[in-house]
Chain A
Amino acid sequence: MSLDAAMIRIDQLTCDGCGCCIAVCPQDALVLDEKYLSWLEERCSQCENCILACPVTALRVVEHG
């Protein structure tokens, strides 16, 4: 992954844990445990499906992570 690849930032306080982002992730790069959603950078293909799927803007892209 290149150095200037975008990062997905998760706002844990906004996230309600519904799993929409996980359902549309083709890379299985998002994981929800009992409490928190995590983003696995090494798996992410930067498709940004998760951002459109989220009902509450809990995910966003941060450039030059």
Chain B
Amino acid sequence: MDEHYDVVAVGGGPAGAMAAWKSAQAGAKTLLLERDREIGLPVRCAEAASTAWFECYFEPQEKFIANRIDAQEFVSPDGMAVVVEGDDKGVVLERKIFDAHIATMAAGAGADIATRADATGMERLKNGWKLNVTHQGKPICIEARIVIASDGIESRVARWAGVKTALSLKDLESAAQYDMVNIEIENPHHLYYYFGNEIAPGGYCWVFPKADRRANVGIGVLASRATKKTAKELLDEFIEARFPRGKAVGFVTGGVPIARPLKELALDNLLIAGDAARIVDPLSGGGIEAALLSGALAGETAGRAVLKNRCGRNFLKTYSEILFGRIGRTLGINSRIKNIVQESSDDEYCRITNLARKAAPGKMSLLRMYTIIVRNDPILLLNLAKLLFQR
């Protein structure tokens, strides 16, 4: 590791590793910093994703795919389920191997990688930043022309640059997850989502199978509604009720930012990517896809900026323009739908589920769901519309 780099990505998750890979590939001298002792661990993730989002960058490989998914089941508080068929791209990943795979490609393209490298602060330089880093216990300084803030939920790097990244409690899903074995899964190739204000206020419980009798069983609870019980307490109740004979072989906590994206993802000499940019899909809570895309775009943009010697905001902002061009609209729509889902009563969950079940099987789209509700339960539609425009 050196003291001067063109590009330093802080945080070795999918966003940072993609950024380091693409930046190094573009010819920039690149460093990837990871606070933990190993890239990919701990796995704070439910691991469901679509290969559609990364097959444009690299080949999906069996070594990081634990399971193939062909449908999703949404279970309402009365136990009724709506099955939504998927394409053939759904998977449950082995994130530990997946993340290491991306970091390996970054290294292959020439990026340096430092683990146990904890960025503790950042100072402005005339043309870049000076990062204070504790590397394997020793304080060091690293200068970068461009810093990529890929430090996940904490998003402190952008804070150091003056961006307000703190989340309101309404914009954080407080999450916990067990790696469970010895559990009965009706269909091990389905993802299961359980909704209800009792079981997971403002969020949902999930069962994402990784093998026949093994799954990530987790919960996300809206932090503003976690007043009586914590995410872990609610998850324990869910598991006690549904998988009394299951055994946990792992436990992690995590947080999912479901805020609207930060307004500025590009500043002078700084780009913000992945969860740190608050670009998680607010409806599903899925963040891997946006992390990969934003990481790749940030790395490409940073690489080009260095070569052209144009590291200011004016050039770097092409990153956010391209990124929001790709996912901005979906994030906006899903944020509105999220508000409906979060504010729905258990009775409304059940009525929606019931109506969806009445529909002939097939691909469920929003328009189709809307048509079904208009025809069958216009009062429900009114209630949902009120929720939509409440905020």
Chain A residues, Cβ within 8 Å of B232: 55-57
**A12 interface contact, C-beta 8 A:** no
Complex Cα gap A19–B13 (Å): 14
Chain A residues, Cβ within 8 Å of B134: 33-34
Residue contact B230 to A22, C-beta cutoff 8 Å = no
**B223 interface contact, C-beta 8 A:** yes
**A28 interface contact, C-beta 8 A:** yes
Closest to A33 in B: B118
Which of A19, A32, A56 touches B230 (beta carbons < 8 Å)? A56
Q: How far is the CB of A26 from chain B (nearest CB, A)?
A: 5
**A54 interface contact, C-beta 8 A:** yes
Residue contact A33 to B226, C-beta cutoff 8 Å = no
Chain B residues, Cβ within 8 Å of A25: 166
Interface centre among B36, B221, B231 (most CB of A within 10 A): B231
Do A54 and B174 contact each other (CB < 8 Å), given the known contacts A22-B154, A23-B257, A28-B156? yes
Q: How far is the CB of B304 from chain A (nearest CB, A)?
A: 31
Contact mask for chain A residues 10-43; partner B; CB cutoff 8 A; 1 contact, 0 none: 0000001111101111101001111000000000
Residue contact A24 to B253, C-beta cutoff 8 Å = no
Complex Cα gap A23–B37 (Å): 22
Residue contact B169 to A53, C-beta cutoff 8 Å = yes
Residue contact B172 to A24, C-beta cutoff 8 Å = yes
List residues of B (149-188) whose CB comes within 8 Å of A's CBs. Answer: 152-156, 159, 165-169, 172, 174-176
- A interface majority secondary structure: loop
Chain B residues, Cβ within 8 Å of A54: 174, 230
Do A32 and B154 contact each other (CB < 8 Å), given the known contacts A23-B167, A56-B253? yes
Chain A residues, Cβ within 8 Å of B22: none
Do A53 and B156 contact each other (CB < 8 Å), given the known contacts A18-B44, A20-B253? no
Contact mask for chain B residues 235-260; partner A; CB cutoff 8 A; 1 contact, 0 none: 00000000000000001111101000
Residue contact A34 to B153, C-beta cutoff 8 Å = no
**B95 interface contact, C-beta 8 A:** no
**B35 interface contact, C-beta 8 A:** yes
Closest to B160 in A: A28
Which of B152, B155, B159, B223 touches A53 (beta carbons < 8 Å)? B223
Q: How far is the CB of B15 from chain A (nearest CB, A)?
A: 15
Complex Cα gap A25–B227 (Å): 17
Complex Cα gap A4–B153 (Å): 32
Contact mask for chain A residues 33-65; partner B; CB cutoff 8 A; 1 contact, 0 none: 110000000000000010011111100000000
Interface centre among B154, B166, B168, B172 (most CB of A within 10 A): B154
Show 6 A/B contacts (Cβ-Cβ < 8 Å), sorted by A: A16-B253, A20-B175, A34-B118, A52-B224, A52-B226, A53-B169
Taking A19-B152, A19-B255 as given, write out 14 further A-B residue pairs in contact, using a Cβ cutoff of 8 Å, ordered by the A residue number.
Answer: A18-B175, A18-B254, A20-B174, A24-B166, A24-B172, A25-B166, A33-B134, A34-B36, A53-B174, A55-B175, A55-B231, A55-B232, A56-B232, A57-B232
**Chain A residues within 8 Å of B, Cβ to Cβ:** 16-20, 22-26, 28, 31-34, 49, 52-57
